[in-house]
Structure 1
Amino acid sequence: MPHLLRSSLWLGFFGLILVSWWMMITMSTSMGLDVLGRPDAMGEAMRRMDPRMDMKMPMAEFWPLAWMWAAMMAAMMLPTLVPTLRAYEDLIASANGTRAGFIGVILGYFAVWVGFALVLAGAQLALLFGGVIDMLGIAVSRWFAVALLLAAGLYQFTRAKEVCHGVCHSPSMYFLGHWKTGFGGGFRMGLGLGTFCVGCCWAFMALGFAGGVMNLAWMGLATFFMVLEKLPQIGHYLTKPMGALLIAGAAIVAAWPHLT
């Protein structure tokens, strides 16, 4: 029975990730975008729409945007939680961790990212009505894209990134220092881990505004890197090289405007 419960929880966890990706693919297709975020004729028409028009558009309303960002958080950030959940599983065997606590960690972690999704939805509306991005969430000015790439690249070298990444990179140490039992304890630890994870990865989410928030290629690459960055064996070797790549990307976009 314990093995059946363990398998069911893991299957449910990965099923949620797959459903989230399916939702993102469906939303991207419905907006007339291909996997690289390039619009077809319908997408171009939507891109040129004025958000101040009387016609109601989901991409110009808070709650549809919040739902989209929450699904994106599930698709992109839940895969990065796998090393953390493995660390918690070790404590189920060696300490007094429970399956209820396992669920609590997931829900606490995701609750923080849903909160961040609300912030991003508000930011997208502000940028849209400010004329900085278009209806598809793509930067109108290449200089805004340059600023995002540069900010994300520089952040990789900061002390804040180092501290937050240290927690995400070594979740076992966090659990040992903040250990609480049961569902409530797992939920509180999930909240803490989620907060550090937002501190570690917020810049990669903001980069969506550079090439389009529904760009599935960007979502996939960002998810892949964030998973690698949290792996105990290699994660700490990747942070600063990625920062250098992002800064180089900012320089390239600044020099060749046709890339945006």
Structure 2
Amino acid sequence: MTAPHWLALYGTLLAAWTAVVLMATPTGWGTLLRDLCLTPAAAAGPGGVLAMWLIMSSAMMLPTALPAFATYDDIAQAHGTGGGGHLIAGYAIVWAGFSALAMVAQLALGRLAILDEPLLAAALLILAGGYQFSPLKDACLSKCRMPLTFFMGHWNDGPFRMGLRLGATCLGCCWALMALGLIGGAMSLGFMALATGLMTLEKLSRGALVPRAIGLACLVGAGFLIGGPA
């Protein structure tokens, strides 16, 4: 895995997680990054908020797709072809689009001054928790868990279009959990590490136990926010 696209992929992952870890440090560049992330969305502006979501999406979603990227390279090598870089580019475009939508949502909610409202947090947790039990979640997750079947079924599309399809499938699987970044804290090391671990685990596991457990935890958290102690 020393091909240029793998080096670029690992470089992007390293840069994204380095930015997140630096943000948790009390001095130097970490202070600048933390100040940016703690700046209200309206003050940070679209560019600042978009940058935060792009970093979050890169750090959290690329690790969950590594098995699929490796599977594609294995198939391409067997066919004597390449295109791994185009596959990753298609995948990245989908999540860049999600980051743009998340930026718009955060700016809109910031202008309404409800980002810190417990009821918004509860609503997003209910949305994420309920989605974990949905047929669409199951369908997208099943495709993410079987990259070999996925690629063989769409091989004639070419690597870039397959990357777009893979990104869309991954988005269908994980968008609701990613949206919790609106309340989990932009660039929060704890939230990002936990969410990345859970999303990776549910893709690598089998059956419905892990996604259902995540959904139940979200619903319990929402119930606590709604009816728990102040």
Shorter-normalised TM-score: what interval? Answer: 0.7 to 0.9
Which residue of structure 1 lines up, in the alignment, with residue 61 of structure 2?
77
The alignment status of 1:153 with 2:135, answered yes or no, reads no
Deviation at 1:50, TM superposition (A): 9.7
With over 3 angstroms needed to count, the CA separation of the structure-2 counterparts of 1:50 and 1:91, relative to structure 1, is: closer
The alignment status of 1:170 with 2:146, answered yes or no, reads yes
Alignment counterpart, residue 144 of structure 1, candidates 120, 123, 130: 120
Q: Match for 1:216: what amino acid? A: L
The separation in 1 between residues aligned to 2:49 and 2:22, in whole angstroms, is 15
Which residue of structure 1 lines up, in the alignment, with residue 218 of structure 2?
246
Q: Match for 1:178: what amino acid? A: H
**Matching of residues 45-194 of structure 1 within 5 Å:** 51=42, 57-58=43-44, 61-98=45-82, 101-133=83-115, 140-180=116-156, 185-194=158-167
Deviation at 1:97, TM superposition (A): 3.7
With over 3 angstroms needed to count, the CA separation of the structure-2 counterparts of 1:238 and 1:188, relative to structure 1, is: same
Q: Match for 2:209: what amino acid? A: Y
The separation in 2 between residues aligned to 1:165 and 1:226, in whole angstroms, is 10
- What secondary structure sits across from 1:131 in the alignment? coil
CA contact (8 A) 2:41 2:49 kept: no
The structure with more helix, counted as a fraction of residues: 2
The separation in 1 between residues aligned to 2:72 and 2:229, in whole angstroms, is 47
CA contact (8 A) 1:83 1:230 kept: no
Q: Which segment drifts farther, 141-150 or 112-121?
A: 141-150
**Matching of residues 219-238 of structure 1 within 5 Å:** 219-231=192-204, 233-234=205-206, 236-238=208-210
Structure showing greater Rg: 1
CA contact (8 A) 1:228 1:234 kept: no
CA contact (8 A) 1:80 1:227 kept: yes
CA contact (8 A) 1:146 1:254 kept: yes
Deviation at 1:252, TM superposition (A): 1.9
- What secondary structure sits across from 2:156 in the alignment? coil
- What secondary structure sits across from 2:187 in the alignment? coil
**Number of residues of Structure 1 aligned to a counterpart in Structure 2:** 224
- What secondary structure sits across from 1:246 in the alignment? helix
Q: Match for 1:92: what amino acid? A: A
The alignment status of 1:214 with 2:187, answered yes or no, reads yes
CA contact (8 A) 2:41 2:107 kept: no
Percent of aligned pairs sharing the same letter: 38
TM-score normalised by structure 2 residue count: 0.87
With over 3 angstroms needed to count, the CA separation of the structure-2 counterparts of 1:93 and 1:215, relative to structure 1, is: same
- What secondary structure sits across from 2:155 in the alignment? coil
With over 3 angstroms needed to count, the CA separation of the structure-2 counterparts of 1:177 and 1:50, relative to structure 1, is: closer
CA contact (8 A) 1:87 1:172 kept: yes
Structure 2 gaps of 5+ residues are 25-29
CA contact (8 A) 2:13 2:62 kept: yes
The separation in 1 between residues aligned to 2:63 and 2:208, in whole angstroms, is 18
* Deviation digits for residues 146-175 of structure 1 (CA, Å, limit 9, x no counterpart): 111111000001111111111111111111
CA contact (8 A) 1:228 1:235 kept: no
Deviation at 1:27, TM superposition (A): 4.8
Q: Match for 2:189: what amino acid? A: L
The separation in 2 between residues aligned to 1:211 and 1:237, in whole angstroms, is 23
Deviation at 1:123, TM superposition (A): 0.5
CA contact (8 A) 1:112 1:191 kept: yes
Q: CA RMSD of the aligned region, Å?
A: 2.4
Structure 1 gaps of 5+ residues are 34-41, 52-56, 134-139
* Deviation digits for residues 15-74 of structure 1 (CA, Å, limit 9, x no counterpart): 2101011123345643685xxxxxxxx79xx66x794xxxxx32xx11221122111111
Deviation at 1:111, TM superposition (A): 0.7
